[in-house]
Structures are given as C-alpha cells and as structure tokens.
Amino acid sequence: MVLILKAVENIPLIQKGDDLAELVCENTEISDNDIVVIASTVVSKMIGLTFYEKDMIPTFEAKRIAQLNGKSPEFVQAVLDESTGVLTETPFMLVRNKNGHICINAGIDGSNVGGEKLLKLPQNPDKYAAEIGKNIEEKTGKKISVIITDTNGRAFKNGQTNVAVGLYNIKPIKKWIGEKDLYGKVLEISEEAVADEIAGAANLIMGEGCYGCPIVIVSGLDFYTAEKTSIGEMYRDEKDDLIVQSLLSAKEKKEKKDDIKVRIYRDGEAIDVNCFFDEKDNMYKEMSFYKFEGVNFED
Ligand code: GDP
Ligand code: MN
Ligand code: MN
C-alpha cells in the first residue's frame, strides 16, 4: 500500500467569500477516493469568522472567569459565546463548543489571521465540508471525501496534533470489531479514529506556521462513502465520558470551596457566616438565611 500526501500549491491569503473548491481544482489534480484535508483556519476565513477582541462586551461571568485565568474579559466572553459547557476555567478554558467538539478556548485563535484579529471555528463544519466537497465533485466529476481540521492539544501527552472537526463522505471511525487478528482471534473493541489520523498525517505538511499550506490531498486510502456521515459520530456521550465527568465534578468541588466566611455583627454580637456568591443577583448571600428564609445577609 502507498499513501500519498500532496500540498495544494498557490493558495492565496484567504478572504471572506473566496471559493476554496475552485482553488483546489485550479491547483491540483483530483482522483476518485481522494481525501481533501482543509485547515479550519481557511474555512473560517472564507466564511468571514474574524472578529476583534475589543468588540466583545463581557458579562459578569466572563469577568469572573477572566480574574481566574488572567485572560481578558473580552476574550473570555468570545469563548463563552461559542461554548455550550465549560469544563475548566483555569489555568485555561477547556470548553465544549456549539458543535460538540471539546477544545481549548473553543478553538478561537489569533495565529495565521493577521493583525489583532481573532478567528472562530465554524459552528457547523460538516455543512462547509459538504459544500466544498460537492463543489469539487461537480467541477471534477470525481468522488471525493473532505476533512476539515484544527490543531488541538490532548490529554496525557505533550504536543498538539491536527484532528478532524468536520467531514464529508467519510466515516470517521473504522470499526474493527468482528475482524480477525493475525492469529485468528476475533477483535472485540477496536475502533480506529481514521479521520483524526488522516488529519494528523496531513498536518505534517501543513505545519502550524508560515508554510501557507492549508489544503492537503490524501491519496491511496479507500475510505470514500456516499453515506451521510457526521463528525458527531466521534464525540463521546458526556455521561459515558470518564474524563469529562471527573473534570465537571472537580469544578463543582472547587466552586463549593470558593464559598467564603463573612464576619457580621448581629445584635451586637460578632458571628461568622458562610456565604456563597449568587450570580443571578451578583452578590454574596448568607447560606443559611438564603436557604431557610430566602433573605440575604445585607437585608
Ligand atoms: P489551524 O490548525 O486550522 O488552526 O490552521 P493553522 O493556523 O495551523 O494553519 C495551517 C496551515 O495553513 C499552515 O500551513 C498555515 O500557514 C496555512 N494557512 C493559514 N491561513 C492561510 C491562508 O489564508 N492562506 C494560505 N495559503 N495558507 C494559510
Ligand atoms: Mn486553530
Ligand atoms: Mn494548525
């Protein structure tokens, strides 16, 4: 077997409205079963997802988190706007974005964007993978797959790798269950995350810096499917995810610890009361009073 990774040359700095499919077809030869791997950075630029941090208006929640992790409240607000859940607030924000993908800062990134601009991830990357893929298929008459990627850190190991965040015409996970190993033993649990592996391989020639190589054609694999597939197939259910569950419970414990003791004087007597921060009313409230009588200690 031979696997070929080919950079698409002559890609300009992508602007809003550019036609990535056209750029692929103009600058490279496409064959049946090719996988077109595209860095999310240029997909986001094509859609026009650049923004300025200074234009964000931080809520109280963004200010609170910014105090913990040292980022600007405006940046934290941008991350919160793209997130459906926050797994860690400090030392960095690990969040689930609106598409179900868990990553640092919701994938908001300032590299390869220019000036002070920031770039968000597309909220529905499968849709853009399909749009670009169908365009390439129409122009070339070939059957192809598309993977949109982003560079992510991962648990347990140093170093980042490219991963799939959106796809078209490829099943992201190859099931080996039921197949035999070298000695005839039937495999029971092996599932290979091929979309991430292809993304990682393509990044060997994309790089992270100034190569100017956001699109790589992968030839030699037989992963094409006309079946409807979705990147969602790669995201584990939150309730079955041990790591997500432990991060959430650690966060909950930490929040409990953040409660404070306040010394107040009641009828001339000093007493220490446990207080918690009520985000809705934006103030500390005495726990017992709040719980039992529904009044806050400032009353
Ligand atoms: P990400 O992993 O999707 O966040 O993208 P990166 O910022 O790591 O960039 C991946 C590759 O795309 C690198 O080779 C960059 O130099 C290249 N790249 C990013 N934006 C552009 C662009 O607008 N035009 C070109 N030609 N290359 C770009
Ligand atoms: Mn990125
Ligand atoms: Mn990258």
For the ranges 33-37, 197-201, 239-243, 279-283, the lowest mean pLDDT is seen at 279-283
Q: Judge whether residue 37 has pLDDT over 60.
A: yes
105: Cβ below 6 Å to ligand 1?
no
- For range 46-57, the mean pLDDT: 98
CA of 191 to the centre of ligand 1 (A): 30
CA of 161 to the centre of ligand 3 (A): 8
Q: What is the pLDDT of residues 99-156, one digit of tens each?
A: 999 999 999 999 999 999 999 999 999 999 999 999 999 999 999 999 999 999 999 9
Q: How many CB atoms lie within 10 A of CB 77?
A: 22
Q: Which residue's alpha carbon is nearest to atom 28 within ligand 1? A: 212
pLDDT at 287: 66
13: Cβ below 6 Å to ligand 1?
yes
Instruction: Please provide the average confidence, as pLDDT, over all residues in the chain.
Output: 92
Q: Where are the domains of the chain?
A: 4-49+122-251, 259-293
Q: What is the pLDDT of residues 143-179, one digit of tens each?
A: 999 999 999 999 999 999 999 999 999 999 999 999 9
Q: Atom of ligand 1 at shortest distance to CA of 208? A: 8
For residue 279, what pLDDT band results from cuts at 50, 70 and 90? low
CB–CB of 155/246 below 8 Å?
no
pLDDT at 231: 98
Q: Atom of ligand 1 at shortest distance to CA of 12? A: 26
pLDDT at 106: 98
pTM, entire model? 0.88
pLDDT at 295: 40
Fold category of 4-49+122-251 in CATH: 60s Ribosomal Protein L30; Chain: A; (3.30.1330)
- For range 271-285, the mean pLDDT: 73
97: Cβ below 6 Å to ligand 1?
no
CB–CB of 101/87 below 8 Å?
no
- For range 273-282, the mean pLDDT: 72
Please report where in the chains the tokens 């996970």 appear, as a residue: 173
212: Cβ below 6 Å to ligand 1?
yes
pLDDT at 288: 57
Q: Judge whether residue 52 has pLDDT over 80.
A: yes
| C-alpha closest to that of 218 among 7, 77, 70, 76 | 7
41: Cβ below 6 Å to ligand 1?
yes
For the ranges 92-106, 207-221, 263-277, the lowest mean pLDDT is seen at 263-277
Q: Judge whether residue 48 has pLDDT over 60.
A: yes
- For range 291-298, the mean pLDDT: 40
Q: Which residue's alpha carbon is nearest to atom 6 within ligand 1? A: 208
**Burial zone of 267 (CB within 10 Å; 0-12 exposed, 13-18 middle, 19+ buried):** exposed
pLDDT at 296: 45
Structure tokens given for 263? 């010394």
- For range 257-275, the mean pLDDT: 76
229: Cβ below 6 Å to ligand 1?
no
